[in-house]
Structure 1
Amino acid sequence: MAVTPPICDFGWKAPGFTLPATDGVHYSLDDIRGPNGTLIMFICNHCPYVQAILDRIVRDAAQLQEAGIGVAAISANDVADYPEDSFENMGKIAKDHGFSFPYLYDESQEVAKAFGAVCTPDFFGFDARDGLQYRGRLDASMRQAGPSDAKRELYEAMIGVARTGAGPREQIASMGCSIKWKSA
């Protein structure tokens, strides 16, 4: 079932965290933060919405890092019910797709809850002072990749944040699979 997150709550502060990554290192928000902003992406391995745009995510993340924006992806899905999202499989995805950013595992799901993440993909674009400036979609892609010339909404928004400190006032929410929460 497709889920849509709420639109940007401008200025909302990024919560701190420290999580293990597929490269064997633990990363905190301080480690990821870039001088011109930070992008935190909630993704997972099995979601068709993520699979459809994964190459675009990798492309845009690398270019945003070149612009001084720190980038990380977090998977928070319940791996007991979704074993394809396991930490081991996360490492394979990161390696196979050449992630230039850390792919973090939120086993407790506390970080996803602190962010208010609801789906994969769910993008959180922060300014240099950790204020939320973008909570929109990557581009017009859905369960299938959109046209190759689709407007790069996330990339353009974050370049604007890097230059001006402000995100676009008009944003279209991302859409994806719901985060697979653990049973109580």
Structure 2
Amino acid sequence: MPPVCDFDWPAPNFALPGTDGQMHSLDSIAGENGTLVMFICNHCPFVLAILDRIIRDARDLQKLGIGVAAICSNDAVSYPADSFDNMQRLAQDYALPFPYLHDSDQSVARSYDAACTPDFFGFNAKLGLQYRGRLDASRAQPGPTNLRRDLYEAMKQVAETGRGPEDQIASMGCSIKWANS
């Protein structure tokens, strides 16, 4: 489980290859009203249970001027389901509406102190952290369709005010699969 939100913590920059064949940086994905950086992967049951909701919320947030990207940092040697080739397949199969980026050396996950998949980092327009919470109350199985959209509501507030909610419920998921060093 990730720690609670460290308000105004500055977003670390990155430059990572995307499944779309392009390089993406924090600056290139940043939105006018905020930025959402998600750590996800291909095999995690927590991610797969809510992937359709992640896509829905990403589309809705993009309409509010929030830039969105997802990063897979799992060790693909030990977890081949999370290889770049499989990331490309998932991005195509689900028509992801955001860049899906490969952090092969895990340096970006370390710089963000990412803890699990999914792990959501919501930044304001000045790239100060405002949200480090869950998508909704779903766990390894999707919850009812009428669950409160915690991530969406928080990022909508960030887009409108520059500040995230004081009360946030941490995301829960599978741990990042770190490479043996």
TM-score of the pair, normalised by structure 2: 0.99
Matched, 1:65 2:59: no
CA deviation after TM superposition for structure 1 residue 168, in Å: 0.3
Matched ranges for 1:109-120 at <5 A: 109-120=106-117
Matched, 1:24 2:21: yes
Matched ranges for 1:41-120 at <5 A: 41-120=38-117
CA deviation after TM superposition for structure 1 residue 53, in Å: 0.1
Q: Which of 3, 6, 11 does residue 6 from structure 1 map onto?
A: 3
Question: How much is the aligned-residue C-alpha RMSD, in angstroms?
Answer: 0.4
Q: Which of 108, 129, 142 does residue 132 from structure 1 map onto?
A: 129
- The amino acid that maps onto 1:78 is D
Matched, 1:153 2:150: yes
Distance across 1 between alignment mates of 2:159 and 2:93 = 29
CA deviation after TM superposition for structure 1 residue 119, in Å: 0.3
Distance across 1 between alignment mates of 2:58 and 2:109 = 20
Q: Identify the residue that residue 34 of structure 1 maps to in structure 2.
A: 31
1:163 partner SS:
helix
Distance across 2 between alignment mates of 1:35 and 1:116 = 25
CA deviation after TM superposition for structure 1 residue 95, in Å: 1.0
Structure 2 unpaired stretches of 5+: none
Give runs of ≥4 in structure 1 deviating > 6 Å.
Answer: none
Distance across 1 between alignment mates of 2:58 and 2:90 = 15
Distance across 2 between alignment mates of 1:113 and 1:58 = 25
**20-29 vs 92-101, greater mean Cα deviation:** 92-101
Distance across 2 between alignment mates of 1:8 and 1:138 = 14
Structure 1 unpaired stretches of 5+: none
Same amino acid, percent of matched pairs = 64
TM-score of the pair, normalised by structure 1: 0.98
Q: Identify the residue that residue 144 of structure 1 maps to in structure 2.
A: 141
